[in-house]
Each structure stands twice: as structure tokens, then as C-alpha cells.
Amino acid sequence: MLNATTKNIIERKALRVNAAKTCQPIGAMYASLGIHGCMPHSHGSQGCCSYHRSHLTRHFKEPVIATTSSFTEGASVFGGLANLTQALKNIFTIYNPDIVAVHTTCLSEVIGDDVPTIVRRAREEGAVPEGKIVIHANTPSFVGSHITGFANMTSAIVKYLSEKTGETKEQVTIFPGFVEPADMREIKRITKLMGVPFVMLPDTSGVLDGGLDGNYTMFPKGGATLPEIRSTGDSAASIALGHFTAHPSALTLESKHKVPATLLEMPFGVAGTDEFVQTLRAFSPGGAVAPEIEEDRGRLVDAISDMQQYFHKKRVAVAGDPDQVIGYVRFLLELGAHPCYVITGSKGNAFEQRIHELLDPVVPDAKIKQQSDFFELHQWIKNEPVDVIVANTYGKFVSRVEDIPLVRVGFPILDRVGHRYFPTVGYVGALRFLDMLTNALFDKKDRTCAEEWFELVQ
């Protein structure tokens, strides 16, 4: 299978081979888990929910909770009203969540189920207890990707739950985008060090990276609470980290409650993190940068100066989610590397435009493509090899057959551990990425170099 990829490239308009994305409901389910006391609910067949849960579980190495409407042949023909009504009754009776976040699947979207109407009728019939909340997002798998689903569910949370009392709070709402729990934890650490009151939405830290104390908890202590989410309508401003995953939510909040939105890219590398820190200064008492943050930045810059010679004009292939790929490309350029192949499986002309802005002055012949796949990336590499691949677990097939180091980042990472505990955002996260990248290159050199170049000290 690994050697079946050919050098001869034929343009494919409909077929994707080893796609560099997955479906909307997975992103919606992940966003829902960032609400404290929330039960994600898949309105569709049982198999869909099982796949989405297992994919997230394999990545985070944590049990992912979710329920399903369990469509049968009858529901597939006549609609899922009875299934969702019974499901909501069972969920609140058995699990007693504070909120249920319903996301649709291909099947319920094709049927055309009107979820808000079904939920309203379920409430009237007593299936939804007084004081309990049900929200929904439309997330058909045949449109978009997990990135779209994450953005749609986060925007739905804002539409359903954010409230405005008329009294502006001295806080900012931070939309972190589709990143690891450790990344959300690092973003919060930086914000706290800057002395800025905030609400993060969603927030999976403490939910999918919690400790083991011998007791199973259906709803871990992490996640944004309902009072916090409601208060976002009174925030002084919002900061959105990522064009594809976070900007839509911030713009929804701005449209609904006139909360000014600051739209940034994900804080990867030096420049990306600098932009985030400088934005926080506007809301920080005194406007000073915390000494701990300055020290983190200094360590990163020192490490870059120590290791930059190893990256000079190294050819890199980057694949993954659009917001993260943009961040990694920016950081690779800071290191002096040349990202020559850059792809994402998601759709978005803004992705190609932004990557061209970054690469055209430095790597004008770089190949950049949205809605691409790992098969096409492999074909490019077969024709002109690279020194290292930066991608998720699915990049390992290309890495193995071409004997090219792989640095695993993004979603999903199914064959390694630790990614949910160690950030890649911020100055601290950039140091970790730098360490992984350097070691990958060194390991390849030690494994393949001639004996006279096999050095004790690199």
C-alpha cells in the first residue's frame, strides 16, 4: 500500500485519497466538550457517534462522552423527531447534564430535521426538565470538515447562550480555536500572567487532560461554565485565535452583542505569540508584559539562535488544519527553513492567499493547496523530496516509505502520547516544536550518515 503512490500526477476533482481532514461532527463534539457539564449529542445513526467518539478517544487517550439519537430505518425515512425526543428524556434522566449540545450528521441533514422545533416540542412534552438547556448546530459531514464543525458549534454556543445585561465587564472573551487542551491551558497561563480577566470558549483543559484519582467523573471540573459563557455578551472585547476556527465565533458575538472582535492568527512561534501578547497589553493593568513571559520569549530566541544553522533552507512539507498550518509555516520561516509543500484538507481560499503572502517572497516555487490530500502530497515528495514532514499521524505512511523524518502535530495523533499535555502554542510551545524538529533531523542524520560523519556532538 505504501509504495503504490506514483510520480505521475493526474488532477483529481472529486476523489480524495487519504484525505487530510475528517468530518464536521467530530469538531462539533470536541467544541461541546469545552462546556462544563455538557453532554454532546449526535443526531443521527449510532455508528456515526461511535466513530466520532472513538476517533477523539484515540487522539486524547481519554474516554469521550457523547450520546446519539440512534436512527433506524424508520427514522431514516420519517425523520428523527421521536428519536431525539426520547433521547433527550433518557439523557436528562440518566446522566443529568446541565446542557445538551446537539450536532447533526449526514443522515439527519439529508432528511431535513428541524432540530429547534423538535427540541421545543420535547420541552413542551416534559422531555427537557425545567432549568436544563439544549442547543444545536448544523454539521453535515458532506460539507466542510472537522474545522467547520468546531467553528459552527462554537458560534452556536454564542448564539444560544451569550447574554448582555448592559453593564460591560472588564474581561475579554478568548476563542482559542481547535487546539489541544495543553494549548488552551498555555493560552490561559499567558493571559493570567498579563493580569487580564477572561473567559475562554470553548475550554477543554481539565476535561481531556485531567489527572487520575481513582474515581470516574462523567463531567470533569474543566470547561467553560454556563455563567461564564452567558457573561461573554458583557465582555469588553474578544480575541479570536485562528481565521477558520475562531474568527466566526468572535464575529457572531460582535454581531449579537456589539463586543469588539480582535482577529488574530494562532499564537505559534515568535511573531504569532508576540501579536497575542501585544493584544493582551491593551487590556492589562499598566500595559506591561509580565517578566515570566519575557523570560519565556528570551529562552525561545536563544534556542533559535543556537539551532538555526540546522534549519537553513531545509525543505519542509506541512500538512494539517488550516489555522495550525499557517502558524507552523510562519515559525518555520523564522527558523530559516523553506516550507515548499503546504496543504490542508479543508476548504478555504483565505488559506491559500495567506500562505502565498508568507511564502512568495522566500519560497516562490512552493506548492500550496487547499482541499488536498496525503496522496497528492506524497506524489510531490516523490518528484522532489523534502528534509522533514510536519503533519499528523497520517503523515507516517509517507514518512516510512520515503525515509523522511515526521514531526507529529495537529489532529489526529493516534500513535504517540503526550500531545494533550504539552503545548505547541506560545513561546513555551514553540520551544517544544523546535525541540521535536531538531531531534527529528538529528535522528535521521545519525541513522543514515557515513561512519566518518557519525559524531558524538551535533
- Residue among 110, 184, 123, 120 at smallest CA distance from 150: 184
Q: Please work out, in degrees rounded to the nearest 5, the angle formed at the alpha carbon of residue 429 by the alpha carbons of 412 and 321.
A: 35
Q: What are phi and psi of 253, to 5 degrees?
A: -65, -40
Residue 218: Cβ within 10 Å count: 12
Sign of the torsion angle spanned by Cα atoms 298, 189, 239, 40: positive
User: Using only C-alpha atoms, what is the Rg of the chain?
Assistant: 23
110 is catalytic: yes
Measured over all CA atoms, what is the biggest interatomic distance in the chain, rounded to whole angstroms? Answer: 79
Sheet harboring 338-343: ordered strands across?
Answer: 367-369, 338-343, 315-319, 388-391, 406-408
Strand 198-200 to 169-175 pairing: parallel
First to last CA, the chain: 36
106 is catalytic: yes
Q: What are phi and psi of 421, to 5 degrees?
A: -100, -25
Alpha carbons 82 and 49: distance in angstroms, whole number: 18
Residue 361, amino acid:
P
- Residue among 91, 90, 66, 86 at smallest CA distance from 75: 86
Residue 13 neighbours by CB under 8 Å, 6+ apart: none
- Residue among 300, 312, 311, 281 at smallest CA distance from 407: 311
- Residue among 161, 136, 137, 133 at smallest CA distance from 227: 161
CA distances to 155, 178, 306, 364 from 171, rounded to whole Å, are 19, 22, 39, 42
Residue 418: Cβ within 10 Å count: 11
Which is the catalytic residue, given 106, 172, 316, 398? 106
Catalytic residue positions, numbered? 106, 110
